[in-house]
Protein backbone atom coordinates (compact mmCIF):
# COMPACT_ATOMS: atom_id res chain seq x y z
CA UNK A 1 0.00 0.00 0.00
CA UNK A 2 3.04 2.25 0.23
CA UNK A 3 2.78 2.85 -3.54
CA UNK A 4 -0.85 4.05 -3.53
CA UNK A 5 -1.54 6.95 -5.87
CA UNK A 6 -4.47 8.80 -4.35
CA UNK A 7 -6.34 9.21 -1.09
CA UNK A 8 -9.83 10.59 -0.49
CA UNK A 9 -11.74 11.47 2.64
CA UNK A 10 -15.55 11.61 2.88
CA UNK A 11 -18.15 10.66 0.31
CA UNK A 12 -21.18 8.36 0.35
CA UNK A 13 -21.17 4.56 0.10
CA UNK A 14 -23.64 2.65 -2.09
CA UNK A 15 -23.70 -0.74 -3.78
CA UNK A 16 -21.53 0.62 -6.58
CA UNK A 17 -18.86 2.16 -4.35
CA UNK A 18 -18.05 5.54 -2.84
CA UNK A 19 -19.08 8.73 -4.62
CA UNK A 20 -17.87 12.20 -3.69
CA UNK A 21 -15.14 12.72 -1.16
CA UNK A 22 -12.22 15.14 -1.18
CA UNK A 23 -8.79 14.27 -2.51
CA UNK A 24 -6.26 14.85 0.26
CA UNK A 25 -3.14 13.97 -1.71
CA UNK A 26 -2.56 16.94 -4.03
CA UNK A 27 -0.58 20.19 -4.24
CA UNK A 28 -2.40 21.68 -1.22
CA UNK A 29 -2.62 18.65 1.06
CA UNK A 30 -0.18 15.78 0.71
CA UNK A 31 0.43 12.39 2.30
CA UNK A 32 3.87 12.69 3.86
CA UNK A 33 4.27 9.05 4.88
CA UNK A 34 2.09 6.27 3.47
CA UNK A 35 3.27 3.78 6.07
CA UNK A 36 0.94 5.27 8.66
CA UNK A 37 -2.08 4.42 6.51
CA UNK A 38 -1.21 0.74 6.76
CA UNK A 39 -2.01 0.59 10.46
CA UNK A 40 -2.55 -2.87 11.89
CA UNK A 41 -5.53 -5.18 12.02
CA UNK A 42 -7.36 -5.25 15.32
CA UNK A 43 -6.48 -8.22 17.47
CA UNK A 44 -8.87 -11.16 17.51
CA UNK A 45 -7.15 -12.75 20.50
CA UNK A 46 -7.48 -10.58 23.60
CA UNK A 47 -6.64 -11.51 27.21
CA UNK A 48 -9.68 -11.58 29.50
CA UNK A 49 -9.19 -11.00 33.22
CA UNK A 50 -10.28 -13.86 35.46
CA UNK A 51 -12.66 -12.69 38.20
CA UNK A 52 -11.30 -13.24 41.71
CA UNK A 53 -7.76 -13.96 40.54
CA UNK A 54 -5.65 -10.77 40.34
CA UNK A 55 -3.18 -11.03 37.51
CA UNK A 56 -4.88 -14.07 35.99
CA UNK A 57 -6.16 -13.96 32.44
CA UNK A 58 -7.39 -16.20 29.66
CA UNK A 59 -6.85 -15.66 25.95
CA UNK A 60 -10.00 -16.28 23.97
CA UNK A 61 -10.58 -16.57 20.25
CA UNK A 62 -12.69 -13.80 18.78
CA UNK A 63 -13.36 -11.77 15.65
CA UNK A 64 -10.86 -9.18 14.49
CA UNK A 65 -11.36 -5.92 16.34
CA UNK A 66 -11.14 -2.26 15.32
CA UNK A 67 -8.17 -1.10 13.26
CA UNK A 68 -5.77 1.65 14.36
CA UNK A 69 -3.83 3.71 11.83
CA UNK A 70 -2.47 7.22 11.38
CA UNK A 71 -2.68 9.86 8.68
CA UNK A 72 0.64 11.71 8.31
CA UNK A 73 0.04 14.83 6.23
CA UNK A 74 2.00 17.81 4.98
CA UNK A 75 0.05 21.06 4.54
CA UNK A 76 1.56 23.33 1.88
CA UNK A 77 1.46 27.08 1.20
CA UNK A 78 0.08 26.58 -2.29
CA UNK A 79 -3.28 28.10 -3.18
CA UNK A 80 -5.17 31.05 -4.61
CA UNK A 81 -4.84 33.46 -1.69
CA UNK A 82 -2.55 36.45 -1.61
CA UNK A 83 0.28 34.96 0.40
CA UNK A 84 1.80 31.67 1.48
CA UNK A 85 0.93 32.10 5.17
CA UNK A 86 -2.74 32.72 4.30
CA UNK A 87 -2.83 29.64 2.09
CA UNK A 88 -1.20 27.60 4.85
CA UNK A 89 -3.93 28.58 7.31
CA UNK A 90 -6.69 27.99 4.73
CA UNK A 91 -5.35 24.57 3.76
CA UNK A 92 -5.01 23.57 7.41
CA UNK A 93 -8.59 24.66 8.11
CA UNK A 94 -9.83 22.68 5.11
CA UNK A 95 -8.09 19.52 6.28
CA UNK A 96 -9.19 19.78 9.92
CA UNK A 97 -12.78 20.55 8.85
CA UNK A 98 -12.83 17.34 6.81
CA UNK A 99 -11.76 15.39 9.89
CA UNK A 100 -14.17 17.06 12.32
CA UNK A 101 -17.13 14.73 11.81
CA UNK A 102 -18.28 12.81 14.91
CA UNK A 103 -19.89 10.17 12.68
CA UNK A 104 -16.59 9.59 10.86
CA UNK A 105 -15.63 9.48 7.19
CA UNK A 106 -14.83 6.99 4.49
CA UNK A 107 -11.10 6.85 3.76
CA UNK A 108 -10.53 5.53 0.23
CA UNK A 109 -7.24 4.72 -1.51
CA UNK A 110 -6.42 3.98 -5.15
CA UNK A 111 -4.33 0.84 -5.44
CA UNK A 112 -1.53 0.29 -8.03
CA UNK A 113 -3.77 -2.21 -9.89
CA UNK A 114 -6.44 0.52 -10.35
CA UNK A 115 -8.81 -0.97 -7.77
CA UNK A 116 -10.04 0.98 -4.75
CA UNK A 117 -10.18 0.06 -1.07
CA UNK A 118 -11.76 1.84 1.85
CA UNK A 119 -12.23 1.98 5.60
CA UNK A 120 -14.68 3.95 7.69
CA UNK A 121 -12.58 6.02 10.10
CA UNK A 122 -13.04 8.38 13.01
CA UNK A 123 -10.30 10.93 13.63
CA UNK A 124 -8.98 11.45 17.13
CA UNK A 125 -7.29 14.71 18.14
CA UNK A 126 -4.08 15.34 16.14
CA UNK A 127 -1.18 13.78 18.03
CA UNK A 128 1.38 16.27 16.77
CA UNK A 129 1.49 19.42 14.67
CA UNK A 130 4.85 20.78 13.59
CA UNK A 131 5.97 23.47 11.19
CA UNK A 132 9.32 22.89 9.53
CA UNK A 133 10.40 25.79 7.31
CA UNK A 134 7.43 26.64 5.09
CA UNK A 135 5.09 23.65 5.37
CA UNK A 136 3.06 22.29 8.26
CA UNK A 137 3.14 18.64 9.30
CA UNK A 138 0.17 16.97 11.00
CA UNK A 139 -0.09 13.41 12.31
CA UNK A 140 -3.67 12.31 12.98
CA UNK A 141 -4.48 9.00 14.71
CA UNK A 142 -7.47 7.24 13.13
CA UNK A 143 -9.81 4.56 14.42
CA UNK A 144 -11.71 2.24 12.10
CA UNK A 145 -14.46 -0.08 13.26
CA UNK A 146 -13.71 -2.15 10.13
CA UNK A 147 -10.70 -4.41 10.82
CA UNK A 148 -9.97 -4.95 7.12
CA UNK A 149 -9.82 -2.76 4.03
CA UNK A 150 -12.97 -3.27 1.93
CA UNK A 151 -12.88 -3.47 -1.86
CA UNK A 152 -14.47 -0.45 -3.54
CA UNK A 153 -16.57 -0.43 -6.69
CA UNK A 154 -19.49 -2.83 -7.09
CA UNK A 155 -20.19 -5.12 -4.16
CA UNK A 156 -20.37 -8.88 -4.66
CA UNK A 157 -23.94 -10.22 -4.93
CA UNK A 158 -25.27 -13.79 -5.18
CA UNK A 159 -28.81 -15.13 -5.26
CA UNK A 160 -29.96 -18.66 -4.37
CA UNK A 161 -27.74 -21.68 -3.82
CA UNK A 162 -24.60 -22.78 -5.56
CA UNK A 163 -21.23 -21.19 -4.91
CA UNK A 164 -20.47 -17.87 -3.24
CA UNK A 165 -16.94 -16.76 -4.12
CA UNK A 166 -15.04 -14.51 -1.75
CA UNK A 167 -12.32 -13.04 -3.99
CA UNK A 168 -10.36 -11.47 -1.14
CA UNK A 169 -7.77 -13.15 1.11
CA UNK A 170 -9.65 -12.47 4.37
CA UNK A 171 -12.71 -14.19 5.82
CA UNK A 172 -15.82 -11.99 5.47
CA UNK A 173 -17.91 -11.61 8.62
CA UNK A 174 -20.14 -8.68 7.60
CA UNK A 175 -22.18 -9.96 4.66
CA UNK A 176 -25.88 -9.09 4.40
CA UNK A 177 -28.31 -11.91 3.64
CA UNK A 178 -31.88 -11.20 2.50
CA UNK A 179 -34.49 -13.98 2.72
CA UNK A 180 -37.65 -13.68 0.64
CA UNK A 181 -39.52 -15.33 3.52
CA UNK A 182 -39.17 -18.48 5.60
CA UNK A 183 -36.28 -20.76 4.67
CA UNK A 184 -32.77 -21.95 5.51
CA UNK A 185 -29.50 -20.67 4.08
CA UNK A 186 -26.39 -22.77 4.77
CA UNK A 187 -22.71 -22.41 4.03
CA UNK A 188 -21.64 -26.05 3.92
CA UNK A 189 -17.99 -25.16 3.35
CA UNK A 190 -17.78 -23.13 6.57
CA UNK A 191 -20.28 -25.29 8.45
CA UNK A 192 -23.08 -22.95 9.52
CA UNK A 193 -26.69 -22.24 8.67
CA UNK A 194 -29.37 -19.61 9.30
CA UNK A 195 -33.10 -20.41 9.39
CA UNK A 196 -35.98 -17.93 9.19
CA UNK A 197 -39.32 -19.10 10.62
CA UNK A 198 -42.59 -17.21 11.10
CA UNK A 199 -41.94 -14.34 8.69
CA UNK A 200 -44.58 -12.43 6.75
CA UNK A 201 -42.26 -11.00 4.12
CA UNK A 202 -38.61 -10.36 3.30
CA UNK A 203 -36.17 -10.63 6.20
CA UNK A 204 -32.72 -8.98 6.25
CA UNK A 205 -29.92 -10.53 8.32
CA UNK A 206 -26.88 -8.26 8.71
CA UNK A 207 -24.07 -10.54 9.85
CA UNK A 208 -21.74 -7.66 10.72
CA UNK A 209 -24.24 -5.59 12.68
CA UNK A 210 -25.83 -8.74 14.19
CA UNK A 211 -29.32 -7.54 13.33
CA UNK A 212 -32.45 -9.18 11.94
CA UNK A 213 -35.15 -6.93 10.49
CA UNK A 214 -38.44 -7.32 8.65
CA UNK A 215 -39.74 -4.20 6.91
CA UNK A 216 -37.14 -2.24 8.89
CA UNK A 217 -38.43 -3.51 12.26
CA UNK A 218 -36.22 -5.63 14.57
CA UNK A 219 -37.25 -9.28 14.28
CA UNK A 220 -34.62 -11.34 16.09
CA UNK A 221 -37.24 -13.94 17.04
CA UNK A 222 -37.47 -15.08 13.41
CA UNK A 223 -33.87 -16.30 13.25
CA UNK A 224 -32.38 -19.62 14.34
CA UNK A 225 -28.61 -20.00 13.82
CA UNK A 226 -26.18 -22.85 14.34
CA UNK A 227 -23.13 -20.83 15.39
CA UNK A 228 -22.53 -17.99 17.84
CA UNK A 229 -20.55 -16.09 15.17
CA UNK A 230 -23.71 -15.83 13.03
CA UNK A 231 -22.08 -16.57 9.68
CA UNK A 232 -19.00 -15.98 7.57
CA UNK A 233 -17.56 -16.61 4.12
CA UNK A 234 -14.09 -18.10 3.78
CA UNK A 235 -11.61 -16.87 1.19
CA UNK A 236 -12.28 -18.62 -2.12
CA UNK A 237 -15.29 -20.74 -3.03
CA UNK A 238 -18.05 -21.34 -0.48
CA UNK A 239 -20.69 -23.96 -1.30
CA UNK A 240 -24.11 -22.74 -0.18
CA UNK A 241 -27.65 -24.11 -0.18
CA UNK A 242 -31.01 -22.43 0.14
CA UNK A 243 -32.54 -19.37 -1.49
CA UNK A 244 -31.35 -15.94 -0.36
CA UNK A 245 -29.54 -12.89 -1.72
CA UNK A 246 -26.04 -12.38 -0.31
CA UNK A 247 -24.07 -9.13 -0.64
CA UNK A 248 -20.61 -8.30 0.66
CA UNK A 249 -17.24 -6.84 -0.30
CA UNK A 250 -13.92 -8.65 -0.57
CA UNK A 251 -11.56 -7.62 2.24
CA UNK A 252 -7.80 -7.17 2.60
CA UNK A 253 -5.34 -6.86 5.47
Q: What is the pLDDT along the chain (253 residues), one digit of tens a residue?
A: 345 568 899 999 999 999 988 888 888 888 887 877 866 666 554 444 444 555 544 444 456 677 888 888 889 999 898 888 899 989 988 888 888 888 899 999 998 888 899 999 998 775 556 665 678 888 888 888 888 999 998 898 888 779 999 999 999 999 999 999 999 999 999 999 999 999 999 999 999 889 999 999 999 999 999 887 789 999 999 999 998 999 999 999 8
Q: Exposed e or buried b for every residue in 191-229, given b needs 16+ CB within 10 A? A: ebbbbbeebeeebbbebbeeebbbeeeebeebbeeeeee
Which CATH number is correct for 6-151, 2.120.10.30, 2.40.30.200, 3.30.70.260, 3.10.20.90?
2.40.30.200
What are the residue ranges spanned by the domains of the chain? 6-151, 156-252
How far, in whole angstroms, is CA 76 from its chain's centroid?
A: 29
Listed in order, strand segments (DSSP E) in 111-232 are: 116-123, 128-132, 135-144, 149-151, 156-159, 162-166, 176-179, 183-187, 192-196, 203-206, 211-214, 217-218, 223-225
Give CA separation, 4 vs 38, 43, 124, in Å: 11, 25, 23
Residue 88 bridge partners (DSSP): none
Domain at 156-252: CATH code: 2.60.120.860
The candidate with the shortest Cα–Cα distance to 120, out of 43, 209, 53, is 209
d(CA 156, CA 108): 18
pTM of this structure: 0.81
Amino acid sequence: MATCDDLRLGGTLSGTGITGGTTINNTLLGVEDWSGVLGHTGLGYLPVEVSGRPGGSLTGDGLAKARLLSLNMVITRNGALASGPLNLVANTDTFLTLLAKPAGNYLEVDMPDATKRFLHVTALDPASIGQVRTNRHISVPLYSSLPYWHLGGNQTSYTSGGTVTNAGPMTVYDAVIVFAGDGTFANTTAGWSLTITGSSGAVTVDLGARTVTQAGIPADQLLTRTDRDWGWFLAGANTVTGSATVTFRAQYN
